[in-house]
Structure 1
Amino acid sequence: MSLAGSAIVVWFTDPMSDPDRLNGGASPGAGDMLQLLLDGQARTKADLAHLTGLARSTVSARVDALLASGLVVPAGEGLSTGGRPPSRVAFNPRVGLVLAADLGASHATVAVSDLGGRILDSTTRPLRIADGPAAVLDGVLTDGRALLEAEGLRGIPLVGIGIGVPGPVEHSTGRPYNPPIMPGWDRFDVPGYVQRTFDVPVLVDNDVNVLALGEQATSFPDVEDLVFVKVATGIGAGIIAGGRLQRGAQGSAGDMGHVKVPYSPESSHAPGEDRDLEELASGTAIATALRAQGLDAVTSSDVVELVRNGNPAAIEATRQAGRDVGEVLAMFVNLLNPSVIVLGGSIARAGEHLLAGVREVVYRRSIPLATQHLAIVQTHTGEKAAVLGAAIMVARHILSSANVDAYVAHTTTRTEIPA
């Protein structure tokens, strides 16, 4: 298999600067050396010696090992200060492929990317997540195999698979945990099932977490503190703090849909009545409220269509949903102090009404210092944001210093990058 096009690799760098990344490491190995090249910039051995403080002979040996592994490739010549121009090297995203899958309640998108996060090809099919893991994953594997066998991709090894699912996931095992809209998936061994077909690392995460990774990579690569909120059939948040995705101890971080919403005069629930955010502001909840007013609304898509057609009741219900989301997000802002909050999901596609409701409450209820430079925006990414995030999740794992060191140590046997 071969990859086409240039790579976009800045997303895999450590959030620290180059010198800080290696500060305190007495002798960075080949894996640490590679981290300095994951920003896509070609460097000479002298550049790397300057950044690491290592002897040129040590740098040369490690760069040569990376060259032999295929993880870096020659990238032309640097500027000469007299004599022969020095050679430059750069990260090679063509060394491996990643399969990424975004599973929704009624669709599956499968994509193949290089290790730089560049989506090379993708396909989307309708499905019912409620049909169970075997039926759904078999479809994903069929689509993935077809993508990998496409002309121009044969010969490059598959090195990992990433899957986003619409429910809670115990990230350490990749098993969905009591997912409300995924009957039959509870504690199902997704990685084990997939590895029957592809014997590579398989990472599984909640869909909003991979959406957060995709949004940051695409629209906010320089932002280290970001919250992505998905408002659809359910409500959840993907939290990036200090440049790293925060999953919590068991993988349930960001489950804001089950946070109790404080009462406010504008809210649709009675004083003293405890209501979860999903019961008030999800697409299903909005549709239920509109049906009570005699409107034909069953799904999130019905709500969006009514809003786009200018229905006053649907517009107000969506704006109120934004206010309720804002009540919970104000707590996020005070606790986490993000730079950016991104609203996505089907209800966010209804226009500015959800966004306006969120802004109205967050800016009013959060402390001034936390909102001084806070941006609350709609998602800028398209339909491939989730598969992009799943690909990034896998690439970061594959390209970790420890995995790269292990891979370089096995280059004589040309084995795949180990898990």
Structure 2
Amino acid sequence: MTDISRQGQDGHVTALGSSVASDLFQILRDGRPRTRTELSSMTGLARSTVALRIDALMNLGLVGPVGDAVSTGGRPSSQFAIAASGRVVLGVDVGASHVRIAVSDLTGRIQAESSERIRVAEGPEAVLSWVSTAAHELLDQLGRAPGDLLAIGIGLPGPVQHSSGRPINPPIMPGWDRFDVPGWFHDSFDAPVLVDNDVNIMALGERELSWPEVDHLIFVKVATGIGSGVISGGILQRGAQGTAGDIGHVHVARGADVPCQCGNRGCLEALASGPALARDLRDTGMSPESSQDVVELVKGGNITAIQAVRQAGRDIGEVLTTCVSLINPSVIVIGGSLAQAGEHLIAGVREIVYTRSMPLATEHLQITQSKAGADAAVLGACMLAIHHALSPANIEEMVIGAPTTAKV
């Protein structure tokens, strides 16, 4: 018996090493079954080398046989594809007043989920304790062992330093500042924990569910706050410190004297968020307290509320016009609770973006309401975990660490 994970003298993995397994796995991630011969032809590797690496991936539960290819004479060749249900990931959506978790297979298909009304202001210990307990219950329900869990993705309603997974000065999350969220799960799960802000994971979820072929997309959440997730070149853009897409605190001239909770004046969030609209409508004699109250007024045909939402769309459009010039997206998706006001909000956005942007930038630009809706965040959290778990570097690490041996 000979260990097949060998390294050359320069420290790089050799042709029999894990990089081959990673390359094969990335080919199979498209879901199409292939034979060893096809994979050998695609990679230029010997069929015996491909066979060894396929065996290693099968032992990890990442690849499995899916039947035989059509025979051209003689014994038909076995086909292999990604084993979508072989391993699982956990997605966690932490909102201001709720927590939702889901276990998904490696394609993002939800297998089981659970939710609870918990205020994020209750603190990290209370929220994450529920997540840990509920996650174990879901795995038990599915007949899964904790070792089947490849990764955990978590979305939080505040700024997150993605490299460490720690929230940084989150305004609506008392007790969470710089809390070690990944470290909290170390005793419960032997799996990497990826943490991001909620708008970024909503962008991932929206793209996965509704726009899988689009490589340039901006997802805008309009609710208690306003933020955006930016996907460019097919990659989620976080920026140097993880604050890319924080459009809620971009200055809008119309609101120069309006104070914002961040300490500045004239921020988009201070003008166009759900609480801002509720505040302005209360000044007219109405009594909305939340984004949902504003939406209900709009759905009820209240003209003043409709006009306020339309103006909020224009304000958002003013900021997005700069984003269009800078990033040139193919799609802008409007989500969050205020998006439930329907076309009134989006009409205001379109009015400004299409009028003020360069024609070439808007020639094929779509501005539309979220299709994923409330599912965007938890699905995006699952995709955050999947992207990490199935990355080339992680596949290589798993193969190197696996006790797989084979005859050569």
CA contact (8 A) 2:336 2:373 kept: no
2:28 is paired with a residue whose SS is coil
Q: 1:146 aligns with which of 105, 129, 137?
A: 137
Alignment partners' CA distance in 1, 2:385 and 2:240:
20
Return the alpha-carbon distance in structure 1 between the equivalents of residues 200 and 253 of structure 2. Answer: 26
Cα distance in 2 between the residues matched to 1:156 and 1:201: 12
| Counterpart secondary structure, 1:383 | helix
* Contact 2:59-2:404 at 8 Å conserved across structures: no
Q: Is the 8 A contact 1:229 1:343 kept in 2?
A: yes
Asked if 2 retains the 8 angstrom alpha-carbon contact of 1:319 and 1:354, the reply is yes
Kindly indicate whether the alpha-carbon contact (under 8 Å) linking 1:97 and 1:156 is maintained by their aligned counterparts in 2: no
Say whether 1:297 aligns with 2:296: no
CA drift of 1:149 comes to 1.3
Residue 365 of structure 1 and its aligned partner are, at CA, apart by: 1.0
The amino acid of 1:37's aligned partner reads L
Residue from 50, 63, 68 that aligns with 1:72: 63
1:186 aligns with: 177
Q: Does 1:235 align with 2:226?
A: yes
Distance 1:47 1:410 in 2: 27
| 2:354 equivalent in structure 1 | 363
Going from structure 1 to structure 2, the CA distance change for 1:308 and 1:269 (only over 3 Å counts) comes to farther
Q: Which moves more between the two structures, 312-321 or 26-35? A: 26-35
Q: Which moved more, 1:38-47 or 1:352-361?
A: 38-47
Q: CA deviation at 1:395?
A: 1.1
Please list, as runs of the form range in 1=range in 2, the aligned pairs for 1:30-45 lying within 5 A after superposition.
30-45=21-36
Structure 2 gaps, min length 5:
1-12, 259-263
Task: State how far apart, in whole Å, the 1-side matches of 2:115 and 2:299 are.
Answer: 25
Question: Among residues 368, 389, 392, which one is paired with 1:401 in the alignment?
Answer: 392
Match of 1:137 in 2: 128
State the secondary structure of the residue aligned to 1:149: helix
Q: Does 1:124 align with 2:115?
A: yes
Using the size of structure 1 for normalisation, the TM-score is: 0.88
Give the SS at the match of 1:33. helix
Measure how far apart 1:274 and its partner are. Answer: 5.5
- 2:162 equivalent in structure 1: 171
What's the counterpart of residue 363 of structure 2?
A: 372
Hey, what's the Cα distance between the residues in 1 that align with 2:387 and 2:120?
27
How far does the alpha carbon of each residue in 1:206-236 deviate from its partner, in whole angstroms, 9 at most, with x for none? Answer: 0000000000000011111111000000001
Spell out structure 1 runs of 4+ moving beyond 6 A: none
Determine the C-alpha separation between the residues in 1 that align with 2:51 and 2:122: 54
Amino acid at match of 2:276: A
RMSD, aligned α-carbons: 2.0
Mapped to 2, the partners of 1:56 and 1:370 lie a distance apart of: 48
**Structure 1, residues 144-181: CA drift from partner, whole Å, max 9, x if none?**
12111115435862222111010010000000011111
Q: Which runs of 5+ in 1 are unaligned?
A: 1-24, 415-419
**Identity %, equivalent residues:** 56
**One-letter identity of the residue aligned with 1:30:** A
Q: Which residue of structure 1 lines up, in the alignment, with residue 343 of structure 2?
A: 352
Asked if 2 retains the 8 angstrom alpha-carbon contact of 1:95 and 1:156, the reply is no
| Residues paired across the two proteins, number | 385
Q: Distance in 1 between the 2:115 and 2:302 partners?
A: 31
Q: 2:332 aligns with which of 337, 341, 349?
A: 341
Moved more, 70-79 or 214-223: 70-79
User: Take 2:315 and 2:157, find their aligned partners in 1: how far apart are those partners?
Assistant: 22
Does the C-alpha gap of structure 1 residues 135 and 270 become closer, same or farther in structure 2, counting only changes over 3 Å? Answer: closer
SS of aligned partner of 1:159: strand
Give the Å deviation of 1:132. 1.0
Deviations 1:295-348 (A, max 9, x none): 111111111111111111111101100000000001111110111000000000
Q: Distance in 2 between matches of 1:100 and 1:274?
A: 36
Per the TM alignment, residue 112 of structure 1 is displaced from its structure 2 partner at its CA by 1.0
1:246 Cα deviation (Å)?
0.6
Residues 269 and 276 in structure 2, CA contact (< 8 A), matched pair in contact too: yes
1: distance between equivalents of 2:95 and 2:379?
A: 15
Q: Is contact 1:75-1:90 (8 Å) kept?
A: yes
Residue 62 of structure 1: how far off its partner (Å): 1.9
Residue number in structure 1 paired with 2:191: 200
* TM-score (norm. length: structure 2): 0.90
Distance 2:139 2:57 in 1: 25
- Structure-2 residue corresponding to 1:253: 244
Question: Do 2:62 and 2:87's aligned partners in 1 also have CA atoms closer than 8 Å?
Answer: no
Which letter does structure 2 place at the counterpart of 1:212? A
**What's the secondary structure of 2:141's corresponding residue?**
coil
In structure 2, the residue matched to 1:100 is 91
Structure 1 equivalent of residue 316 of structure 2: 325
1:389 alignment partner in structure 2: 380
How far off its partner does 1:26 sit? 9.7
